[in-house]
Amino acid sequence: MAGSWSNMHDYKFSRERMVQEQILRRGISSPGVIAAMSQVPRHAFVPEEGRRGMAYYDAPLLLGDGQTLSQPYIVALMSELLEASPGMRVLEIGTGSGYQAAVLAAMGLEVYSVERLRSLYTAAARRLFTLGYDAHIRMRLDDGTFGWPEAAPYERILVTAGGRQVPQSLLDQLADPGILVMPVGQARYQNLLVLRKEDGQIRQENKKAVLFVELVGECGWRSAP
């Protein structure tokens, strides 16, 4: 990784403090999530060099094209809500910077990630390859609201953008039993939902009020250009 030993040491300290103050103190208890968040270099997923010093702040960061990198706690919370075990197949809708996908891969999951914006897709693919996560992550440039049907079913599905409802295509691609985590609601306000599929039935749990960018696509808020 580029940079002096001192800079790398500072990032390591910032990452450890992030885990202690933003994740553990807020109740995240999954050993797999904590280990992954302690390991994955969040600063390497921040696109602008001048903002890397903010990588471990308790706040989302801009990625460009109107997209964001979620704050560390939200990444940890959504990862924990998946209740995933190593070896499970997970579909991520919205690759973004690639950070969430890297966290899932570090948890030992087989990740399929769909991104609709070519600029983000290309940058994320480059980062994941450089950092060595590409062996555990498959990526696709497409409308994420359609999912990735050729590789279905998925034991877990994680959607990193807010929609008015969960696309039926994603529910159809969720294994039985399986868990889907997604923010659902209005454009400026959503509830983080956990949907559990079991014996053909869907049970929904409301976990937290959140604010995500819009889920754009044929089955989202608006069609992609």
What are the residues whose beta carbons fall under 8 Å from the beta carbon of 152, sequence distance 6 or more? 91, 172, 173
- Among 31, 47, 38, 29, CA closest to 11: 38
Cα–Cα distance measured from residue 69 to residue 83, given in angstroms and rounded to the nearest whole number: 22
CB 179 within 8 A of CB 158: no
Cα–Cα distance measured from residue 158 to residue 147, given in angstroms and rounded to the nearest whole number: 11
Count of other CB atoms within 10 angstroms of residue 163:
24
Active site residue 70: yes
Residue of 30, 70, 79, 97 with catalytic role: 70
| Catalytic residue positions, numbered | 70
